[in-house]
Structure 1
């Protein structure tokens, strides 16, 4: 059992795996990670499923059955992905029970092609919640402008939500407002607020990737000296915004009624620049009441040589503000950065979804 991961967990960070596959489930690999590496949750996305479907034979039997039934590719994808999510939810059920429903969670994303359509996103969230039918599932809804009212409606109906693709501080505040509004509506309906969980997935490494590219284009010594600092600073300020909200009277009224906080989740925590430490977005974002969802490569790196040494978020708010001010002075347009990242994020997930559809369609044809 890794002492580094044990230390991270003891600091109040929930360790989730950013990956799922039928092979990982049927071999017992997920149970091993839960036992040996403190994994207490799983996240998925279209990219992960597209990768899983393209490897090995784990899906062949189900694919043959679906082809025999003559289902269309959309129904086939939904059947395949929800099967994996149910299985993972069952594997993680002990962690769910042990944490009183806080952890032991598995996330599945709504069709990303619906990211700009509020009504269809809500309908899809309801369908996935019903299909998976596990209390420890999270339905992932993107934090687009159109996604915000869908988040509110899902929460109001008692659906636990993982809000994904958050890049900007302004949008994160809007996400927290959508979550609070949903809880208030759920309270008015008489729902048990303690059963409605939520996390807000703040994307990290992609922020550095986009800003570093712009800093290198600017090319001044001051600009180049800021590379690799933006993502951690942005995430730390997101946590500061979260602390402001949970200190407010609006949240406190809901907490008194049994509601649970919407924990910040650090997503996209594998470093994309080989010059940076491969545990950067774990070591530098340690604080209690958060989730860090890691690809297995990052999980292994933290286990091997992570530097877990106390809270690395709350004491560094001033440093974070100074970094953001320096980026602005260097010529970085924050609003443009986050707009580009959100648009690219949606487009990448749609591309992965289309790849998933194409893979399943090909497998269905072969199975007939």
Structure 2
């Protein structure tokens, strides 16, 4: 059962419906699930197989349909294919198609110039979006500005904390900074802490008040085995460089913000490579 004092929504980060069912069994609840091309590539059913583009999209659709049946009241994030050449129009075309797959979809777009253009139009059309591969406060400000006018629940923002930790920066500082910045706004963007690597990350996200977090099954299992605690007072990674808060004006146009980040570029390349590796 979900602890009464837990305000953060808990998502599973997985491309395998079997893990959805397993998590529901040991956790007793699940508020949603995030998927991406790399997670779909790790699905046991793809092992050693090659697909046509249509077959792979059909497989992806089958995965999220099964997940949706397990958690019909939760959100299921589906990611468009995007590489460095993919236009906003192409992302939007995919997004419209994927949004129709299930009734509880959020469409994941990369937080790039083209991804933000696609997201801006998507929310105008009433679609729900999840802006992914976020690594900076400037990117978070741009997402807020690009989706202004959307109702709460329709826009998620996914900062990847583990990948910042990997290069010596304190990813949890980014979560804290974005939450602080968004307090000045209208609340239409929900912060979804992603790239959670361990129980310390999970508990720190809960304690900071992240709206949502998404975690791999192994970390959720560790959390369950620990009794589903909602606090951690000893997460102070002194070996990591602090990320300082920036004073940004959320009322600016989204194009005024510097959304470039090398980790976003690397992430886009990695997701597209994992997807393309499955194609015949």
- Bin the TM-score by the shorter chain: 0.7 to 0.9
Corresponding residue of 2:178: 238
Structure 1 residue 56 displacement after superposition: 6.6
Corresponding residue of 1:254: none
TM-score (normalised: structure 2): 0.82
Answer with 31-40 or 154-163: which moved more. Answer: 31-40
- List runs of 5+ in structure 2 lacking aligned partners: 246-256
User: Which residue of 267, 272, 275 corresponds with 1:350?
Assistant: 272
Partner of 1:127: helix, strand, or coil? helix
Number of equivalent positions: 262
1:115 and 1:144 mapped to 2: Cα distance? Answer: 11
Partner of 2:14: helix, strand, or coil? coil
User: Which residue of 124, 130, 147 corresponds with 1:179?
Assistant: 147
Corresponding residue of 1:75: 54
Please tell me whether the aligned partners of residues 15 and 42 of structure 2 are also in contact (alpha carbons under 8 angstroms).
no
Corresponding residue of 2:91: 121
Q: How does 1:90-169 map to 2 (within 5 A)?
A: 90-93=69-72, 96=73, 104-113=74-83, 116-130=86-100, 132=101, 134-169=102-137
Partner of 1:180: helix, strand, or coil? coil
Corresponding residue of 2:13: 18
2:46 and 2:121 mapped to 1: Cα distance? Answer: 37
Corresponding residue of 2:212: 291
Partner of 1:15: helix, strand, or coil? strand
Is it true that 1:264 corresponds to 2:186 in the alignment?
Answer: no
User: C-alpha root-mean-square deviation of aligned residues, in Å?
Assistant: 3.2
- List runs of 5+ in structure 1 lacking aligned partners: 64-71, 97-103, 184-192, 213-228, 252-260, 271-277, 317-321, 327-334, 362-368
Please tell me whether the aligned partners of residues 116 and 143 of structure 2 are also in contact (alpha carbons under 8 angstroms).
yes
Structure 1 residue 33 displacement after superposition: 2.1
| Structure 1 residues 19 and 36: CA distance shift in structure 2, 3 A | same
Structure 1 residue 323 displacement after superposition: 3.2
Corresponding residue of 1:31: 21
2:80 and 2:213 mapped to 1: Cα distance? Answer: 21
Please tell me whether the aligned partners of residues 193 and 210 of structure 2 are also in contact (alpha carbons under 8 angstroms).
no
Q: How does 1:48-63 map to 2 (within 5 A)?
A: 48-53=39-44
Structure 1 residue 284 displacement after superposition: 1.2
Structure 1 residue 279 displacement after superposition: 1.2
Structure 1 residue 90 displacement after superposition: 1.9
Please tell me whether the aligned partners of residues 115 and 121 of structure 1 are also in contact (alpha carbons under 8 angstroms).
no
1:88 and 1:344 mapped to 2: Cα distance? Answer: 28
TM-score (normalised: structure 1): 0.64
